[in-house]
Amino acid sequence: MSKPLKQIHLAAHFPGVNNTTVWSDPEAGSHIEFSSFAHFAKTAERAKFDFLFLAEGLRLREQGGKIYDLDVVGRPDTFTVLAALAAVTEHLGLTGTINSTFNEPYEVARQFASLDHLSGGRSAWNVVTSWDAFTGENFRRGGFLPQEERYSRAKEFLATTQELFDSWHGDEILADQESGVFLRDAKAGSFVHTGQHFDIHGRFNVPRSPQGRPVVFQAGDSEEGREFAASGADAIFSRYATLKEGQAFYTDVKNRLAKYGRRHDQLLILPAASFALADTDAEAEELARIVRRQQVSGATALKHLEFVWNRDLSSYDPEGPLPDIDPDVSDNHISKGRAQVRMYRDPLATAREWRELAAANNWSIRDLVIHTGNRQNFIGSPETIARTINEYVQADASDGFILVPHITPTGLDAFADKVVPLLQEQGVFRTEYEGPTLRHHLGLAHPDDVQDEQRVAS
Amino acid sequence: MSPSSSSSSALSSLHLAVALDGTGWHPASWREPEARPRDLLTAGYWADLVAEAERGLLDFVTIEDGLGPQSSHFLDPDERTDQVRGRLDAVLIASRIAPLTRHIGLVPTVVATHTEPFHISKAVATLDYVSTGRAGLRVQITARPNEAAHFGRRSIPPIEGYDSPVVTDLFDEAADYVEAVRRLWDSWEDDAEIRDAATGRFIDRDKLHYIDFEGKHFSVKGPSITPRPPQGQPLVTALGHQTVPYRLIARQADVGYVTPHDTDQARAIVAEIRAEQETAGRSDELLHVFGDLVVFLDDDPAEAAARRDRLDALAGEPYQSDARIFTGSPSQLADLLREFQAAGLTGFRLRPAVLGHDLPAITRGLVPELQRRGAFRTAYEADTLRGLLGLGRPANRYAAA
C-alpha cells in the first residue's frame, strides 16, 4: 500500500543579517526600502507560497567591541513591515520573529491580534528567547533573565498571550444600531494571569481575530526547545535540511507530540534551506561555488575564524595559513549578539581539526572557512531541485522548506518561475490558495475547532 | 521665521489634520447610518477613512490608541455595552494604510508609559520607510491603574487630577522617552551604508552611534537596528491641557495640540508654549501649535445642531469634551479657524463627531471653503510630512559638522 503524497509547504525567508546574504552582487538591492519587501512578498505570493518569514534583531552584533560591519546591517521593525505587506498581498501568510524576553504579553498580543485583523487572518509568530545582558542594554529591564529561565519565561509568555487571545470569543460585538447594544458581554476581554513571570489582570482590548490566535512557530533546537515546540507550537523553523538529519529531527519531534495529546499533523517541521538554481546541474554547481566565495570574503573569513579562536586575528592574511596560536577559551567572548558562537563547544579541538584539514588540502584561511561552512542545501537545475525537495518531504525529512535566497529582493524570482511549476505538475504543491487564512494554507485547524475536538474526545 | 511672529499681518495657509477614533468622537456616533461599526476591525474601514482625508489634501491623520479598553471614566474602566469597545494597534493600522496612500501623513498614538522606546523608535522609523517619509507619532501617557495592571511591572497610584505629581513624573518619563526615540532615529548617519566591495564593509561603523541614554526610568544603549528614516526625524506630536504637557510639547514636539475654547485662551496658551520653547532653547525651531476641535458639520447649521441633539439623546447625556465642540456650517467653521489662527494657532486637528459624516464634510465642505479664502493648499506641495508642515529635514545630531 502506497502512502498518499504529502503536500509540500513552502515559505520565503527575507534575506537576513548574516553572511548568507550577498550584498556585494550587482543585483543586490536595498535591505530596508519597502519596495524590496514588497517585491519579495509579491514573488512569494505569485508562487503560491504559504508565507513570508521575517527575522528580528534587537542589538547590532559586535565583534572585538566594535559593530560588525561585514554583513548586511540594519533592518526594519518586524510588525510594522508585516502590516504594510498585508496591503500589497492578499493570501500570503506573514510570519514574524518576536522576542519573548524583551517584550510584555499584553503588548505583543495586541500587535499580533491587530496584525491578524489587518491581514484577514494571515499572521504567525516565531517565538524566540534570549537572555543576554548585551541585548538587554537597549531595554527597560536590561539583561534581567538568567539563561536557565529563558524557556520557562517564553512558555509562560506564550501561554499568557494565548489567554489574552482567548479572552474574546468572537461573538461579543453585536453593534446593533437600532437597540444600541454594541457589546453583548460587558466584561469581554477579562483576564487574570498569575504565574512565576507574569502577574497581570484586566481586560484585553483587541477582539477575537480571524485566526483566533496567530500561528505559532518555534525555532530553538535544544532539548527544551523541542519540548516547547511539541507542547504548543504549530510549526518548527528548524536547521536540519539534509535527509538523514532531517529525518532524525522529524521523528524525534513528532514522537513528542503524543504526550501532549497532539497528532502528527498538528506540528509542521519546516527547515531553512538555501539553494543555488541554474539551468543545468553543472551550472548550478558553478554558481554555488561562486556564491560561497561571495559569502566569504577574506575579511569575513578572518572574522569567522575569530569566533573559534576568540582573538583578534586582523593581522593574519586570509589567503595564508591558519594561526599557530591556540584559541582563547576564557568566558568573555569576542563576538556578541549572535547565536553562532555557541556552535563551537570545544574551540581547541575545532582549531586542531581545522589546522589538519587546511594542511591536508593546502587550504588558506578563506578556503577553510568556505569549505567548512554550510553549502547550499539544494543545488541544481529546476528539475533536480524540485525532485530533491519532493523526495525529502515524502521521506519525512520535513513537511516543506523555508527558502533562504541570497539576493535581496530578486533571489526568489527564478525559484518561483522555474521550480514551483514543476512541483505543481507533480501534484505536490497548490496551484491556487484554498482558503483565506494562513491556517488554511498550513492545514491547521482553527483553535476553536481544536478545542471542540478535544472536548468531544474527553 | 517663527510662526509666533506671523499673527499680525495677512494670514498664511493653515494646516489641517483629522483625529481618527473608532466611528467618531461622539460616544453614540456608531449608531448613525454612515458609521460602519461592524467594520472597525478591518483594514478596509481605515483605508477608506484615510483615502477620504487624502482626497481633502489634509496634512495628516492621527489615530487614537490605548493600552486598555475605551472607558467613559476618567481613570477607571467601565462595563458599558452601549459604546464602541475594542481597537487595533494604531502603529499597525497606519502601516497597513501607508502603501495605499501617497501624500498624507500618518501619525499613530503611542503610549510611552509601559512600552519600550527602542521598539517604538524602530516601529515609527519603519512606518517612515513604508510611507516614504510620511510618518509621525503622537505621544501619550497613561495614569490608569488598570492599564498598569495589564503589564504588571509597576503600579500607578490613583490620582485626583492632572496636577498630581504622579502625572508630572509620567510626563517627564514621556519627555525622556521621546529623547531616546529621537536619538535612536539619529543613531545612524544618512550615509552609513557604504557597500564598499574593496574592504568588504557594508557600513561605515564610525557613522553609527551609541545613544547612551540614561534617564530615571530607563536607559537605552543603541544604536537602533533600523537606519535613519527618510525624514531623518519623523514628526513628534503631543496633546496638552496645561503647563506640564506644554513643557513636553515645547521640549520635544514638532506639533502640539491644545484645546482653547476661545481666542483669548488660544493666545495665552500659545504664549506659554512659546515661553517654554525659549526656555528649552528651541526658539529658532518651527513648532506648530494646533487647536483641537470636535466638529458637527452640516451645510445647514440647524441640521448640525439637530444631529448633535439626536446623538446626545441616544447617549443619554450631553457630550462633553476637553476640546471646544463646534456645531455649524463649513463656512462658520472656516471663520472660527481664521480667528483662532489670528490668535497664534498654525493649524487644527479636527475631531469628527461622526467620522462617516463629518470627515467628508471636512474634506468636501470645509476644505473648498478654506481654499476659496486662500487659506488652504489646492494640491499637495511636498513629498514628506515634514515638508507639508514646512519643517526641513533636520541635521543629524551625531554627524560631524
Q: Is B209 inside any structural domain?
A: no
Q: What's the domain count of chain B?
A: 1
pLDDT value at residue A240: 83
Band of the pLDDT at B6, cuts 50, 70, 90? very low
Mean per-residue pLDDT, B140-158: 94
CATH number of this structure's domain A9-280+376-457: 3.20.20.30
pLDDT value at residue A453: 61
Structural contact between residues B37 and B30, judged by C-beta atoms closer than 8 angstroms? yes
Predicted confidence (pLDDT) at residue B1 exceeds the cutoff of 80: no
Using one digit for the tens of pLDDT, what is the confidence trace for B339-391? 999 999 999 999 999 999 999 999 999 999 999 999 999 999 999 999 999 99
How high is the ipTM of this complex? 0.96
Structural contact between residues A191 and A162, judged by C-beta atoms closer than 8 angstroms? no
Nearest to B31 among A113, A120, A180 (CB): A180
Using one digit for the tens of pLDDT, what is the confidence trace for B97-121? 999 999 999 999 999 999 999 999 9
3-state secondary structure (DSSP) of residue B105: strand
Chain A contacts in chain B segment 58-77 (CB below 8 A)? 66-70, 77
Determine whether the interchain pair B200/A298 forms a contact, defined as Cβ–Cβ distance below 8 Å. yes
Using one digit for the tens of pLDDT, what is the confidence trace for B154-207? 989 888 877 889 999 999 999 999 999 999 999 999 999 999 989 999 999 999
pLDDT value at residue B5: 40
pLDDT value at residue B2: 42
Q: Which residues of chain A have pLDDT under 70?
A: 1-2, 339-343, 451-458
> What CATH number has the domain bearing residue B40?
3.20.20.30
The strand ranges marked E within B206-287 are 213-214, 219-220, 235-239, 255-258
Q: Which residues of B touch A296 (CB under 8 A)?
A: none
Helix (H) or strand (E) holding A251: helix A243-255
Chain A contacts in chain B segment 29-58 (CB below 8 A)? 30-33, 35, 37-38, 41-43
The strand ranges marked E within A129-204 are 173-176, 181-183, 190-194, 199-203
List, in sequence order, the alpha helices (H) in A362-446. 365-372, 382-394, 413-414, 420-425, 438-442
Judged by a CB distance cut-off of 8 A, whether residue A14 touches chain B is no
Residue type, B229: P
Rg over alpha carbons for chain A, rounded to the nearest Å, is 23
Binding site as annotated, residues of A for FMN:
97, 151, 222
Determine whether the interchain pair B81/A181 forms a contact, defined as Cβ–Cβ distance below 8 Å. yes
Give the number of C-alpha atoms closer than 13 A to the C-alpha of residue A135, restricted to the C-beta side.
21
Chain B contacts in chain A segment 140-159 (CB below 8 A)? 140, 142
Angle subtended at Cα A446 by Cα A444 and Cα A450, rounded to the nearest 5 degrees:
90
Q: In angstroms, how far is CA A341 from the centroid of its own chain?
A: 19
Structural contact between residues A408 and A30, judged by C-beta atoms closer than 8 angstroms? yes
Report d(CA A282, CA A192) in Å as an integer: 61
Q: Which residues of B touch A24 (CB under 8 A)?
A: 195, 197, 200
Report d(CA A12, CA A43) in Å as an integer: 9
Determine whether the interchain pair A168/B153 forms a contact, defined as Cβ–Cβ distance below 8 Å. no
Report d(CA A295, CA A22) in Å as an integer: 6
| Cβ-proximal residues to A37 (8 Å cutoff; 6+ apart), any chain | A14, A76, A81, A84, A85, A409
Judged by a CB distance cut-off of 8 A, whether residue B294 touches chain A is no
Determine whether the interchain pair A87/B97 forms a contact, defined as Cβ–Cβ distance below 8 Å. yes
Interface test with B, best of A31, A54, A118 (most B CBs within 10 A): A118
- CB crowding B297-312: b at 16 or more within 10 Å, else e: bbeebeebeebbeebe
Structural contact between residues A99 and A128, judged by C-beta atoms closer than 8 angstroms? yes
Residue type, A249: F
Determine whether the interchain pair A77/B226 forms a contact, defined as Cβ–Cβ distance below 8 Å. yes
Report d(CA B38, CA A122) in Å as an integer: 20
Judged by a CB distance cut-off of 8 A, whether residue A3 touches chain B is no
Band of the pLDDT at B226, cuts 50, 70, 90? very high
Judged by a CB distance cut-off of 8 A, whether residue A71 touches chain B is yes
Report d(CA A403, CA B9) in Å as an integer: 64
The whole-angstrom distance between A441's CA and the closest CA on chain B is 21
3-state secondary structure (DSSP) of residue A148: helix
What is the residue range of B106's domain? 3-146+231-388
pLDDT value at residue A18: 87
Find the closest chain B residue to A171 by CA distance.
Answer: B38
Structural contact between residues B351 and B293, judged by C-beta atoms closer than 8 angstroms? yes
Residue type, A173: I
Chain A contacts in chain B segment 86-145 (CB below 8 A)? 86-89, 91-93, 95-100, 114-116, 118-119, 122-123, 125-127, 129-130, 132
**DSSP 8-state secondary structure symbol assigned to residue B377:** -
Helix (H) or strand (E) holding B155: none
pLDDT value at residue B8: 39
3-state secondary structure (DSSP) of residue B111: strand
DSSP letters, A24-63, are SSTT---SSSHHHHHHHHHHHHHTT-SEEEE---SS--EE
Listed by start position, the domains of chain A span 9-280+376-457, 297-372
Predicted confidence (pLDDT) at residue B3 exceeds the cutoff of 60: no
Q: Check residue A8 and give left, alpha or beta (phi > 0: left; psi -120 to 50: alpha).
A: beta
DSSP letters, A74-139, are ----HHHHHHHHHHH-SS-EEEEEEESSSS-HHHHHHHHHHHHHHTTS-EEEEEE----HHHHTTS
Phi, psi of B294 (to 5 degrees): -85, 135
Structural contact between residues B209 and B186, judged by C-beta atoms closer than 8 angstroms? yes
Angle subtended at Cα A170 by Cα A188 and Cα B63, rounded to the nearest 5 degrees:
70
The whole-angstrom distance between B344's CA and the closest CA on chain A is 36
Determine whether the interchain pair A84/B98 forms a contact, defined as Cβ–Cβ distance below 8 Å. yes
Picking from B103, B225, B349, B14, the residue whose alpha carbon sits closest to that of residue A97 is B225
Judged by a CB distance cut-off of 8 A, whether residue A64 touches chain B is no
Structural contact between residues B343 and B10, judged by C-beta atoms closer than 8 angstroms? no
Q: Is B341 inside any structural domain?
A: yes
Interface test with B, best of A30, A61, A69 (most B CBs within 10 A): A69
Q: A215-218 and A335-336 as β-strands: parallel, antiparallel, unpaired?
A: unpaired
Mean per-residue pLDDT, B125-146: 97
Structural contact between residues A45 and A92, judged by C-beta atoms closer than 8 angstroms? yes
pLDDT value at residue A336: 84
Cell of A102: 524583551
Structural contact between residues B332 and B302, judged by C-beta atoms closer than 8 angstroms? no
